Structure 1
């Protein structure tokens, strides 16, 4: 099986290391394609070339995914897959441009240096090539699980956009204090801020652009907490404790909830 990986960045390199295939790399930066190909025993090819491959894998920024499908569909003899991080746009584009070929969308839910891990997968049109790719992911120790484009992108509003927004908001809101004042919660948040802010801004901006409703919900929740009186704050607190979600849903606590004694003190 020969595979063209469009995008020679960290995710493209991860995919190339993980699959058992003859590799070619194309990138907007030709020198990056050459360096990645040399490191992984593949070869570099032009980004705008016409050479065909059994499989084309797109490892490009989310905002470019749909266009990359259109630009590279003619190069895929049998299958196309993507590891872009969103699923609805690339899957829709692949259905349009590759209706008679195998189609697979993948989202590794980890940074490449933390591999292996969970990989969300939509086998939109499975076949022997996509089956082989999934088997390679499994053999490398990843936990591949099935989803749909709609379920995946909705989940990303919470686990990526909302989570990142909450962490970055704490980083922006926090004043510098002496280390001795740190509590277990603030120290854990400081570690999360360091982790998130140590990445690539463009990647996080792409996530916010693609799944921004999650960020809006974080802002709504912060406003609700800021405006709450003691009783309303306690209601919001207990809803989180119960696992209720959404600022607007289930806002009225039951009388039993309002009257109960708090079960524990703050974990600080």
Structure 2
């Protein structure tokens, strides 16, 4: 099977190495295309080329995926796939520009260097070519999570937009502390900050522009900052009721059991 991968960044390179196919890369940066091809023993072609392939995989940033599909859909003979990270817009574009082809949207829920992992999958119009690619991904140890475009994009508001906003806000608001003063919660957040800030800023900016979620984090932080002691206790119990399976309702009193960050309960 011959596969054209439009976009030779980390995700496009990962896809090229993860599928059992003869892969060719096209990118606005010819040097990046050559590097990706060398990494997976593939080939390079011009971004403006007219050559066709069994499958075209769009591996460009979210902000450009719809335009890339419109530009390159006619180079696919059997299937169109994207790994952009958002699903509703690219699938709508695929249906518009390639209604007769197999159409699948994938979102690897991990950084390429941490593969294998979970991959969200929407088979809008499946078939032999797309199934062969998905089988290859599963054979490499990835867990294919079947979903819908709407379910995926709604989940990303929490999984990505809200989560990233919360971690970045902590990174900007908190200060480094002397050795020995760290609590388990602080240390976990610091580790998340270190992981997140080792990435690419544009990726996180694209996520915030694409998905809602940051506003809810800002509103919750404002509620916490404005709360008095009783209101904060209520917010704490509301959070516990949402996330802790054995939590008591918000109107029940807290126990005096110390918290995992070393602080005491409400009634020490």
TM-score range, shorter chain: over 0.9
**TM-score when scaled to structure 1?**
0.93
Give CA-to-partner distance per residue, 1:122-178, whole Å, 9 cap, x none: 000000001101101100000001111111111111011111110111110012321
Q: CA RMSD in A?
A: 1.5
**Deviations 1:38-83 (Å, cap 9, x if unpaired)?**
2212110000100000000011000000001000011001100000
Give the aligned partner of residue 125 of structure 1.
Answer: 125
Structure 1's consecutive aligned runs of 4 or more residues displaced over 4 angstroms after TM superposition are: none
Aligned: 1:218 with 2:211:
no
Displacement of 1:265 in angstroms is 2.0
Taking the aligned partners of 2:164 and 2:227, their CA distance within structure 1 comes to 24
Q: Which ranges in structure 1 are unaligned for 5 or more consecutive residues?
A: 245-253
**Displacement of 1:259:** 4.2
- Residue 47 of structure 2 aligns with which residue? 47
TM-score by length of 2: 0.93
CA distance in 1 between counterparts of 2:252 and 2:228 reads 16
> Structure 1 145/259 Cα, relative in aligned 2: closer, same or farther at 3 Å?
closer
Question: How many angstroms apart in 2 are the aligned matches of 1:166 and 1:225?
Answer: 13
Shift of the alpha carbon at 1:263?
5.8
Q: Equivalent residue for 1:265?
A: 258
Q: Does 1:63 align with 2:56?
A: no
**2: CA distance, partners of 1:259 / 1:239:** 11
Question: 1:248 maps to what in 2?
Answer: none
Equivalences for residues 164-175 of structure 1 within 5 A: 164-175=164-175
Greater Cα offset, 127-136 or 225-234 = 225-234
d(CA) in 1 for partners of 2:7 and 2:194? 27
Q: Which runs of 5+ in 2 are unaligned?
A: 262-268
Aligned pair count reads 258
Describe how 1:75-94 pairs up with structure 2 within 5 A: 75-94=75-94
Which region of structure 1 is more displaced relative to structure 2, 46-55 or 223-232?
223-232
Query: 1:179 Cα deviation (Å)?
Result: 1.9
Equivalent in the alignment of 1:229: 228
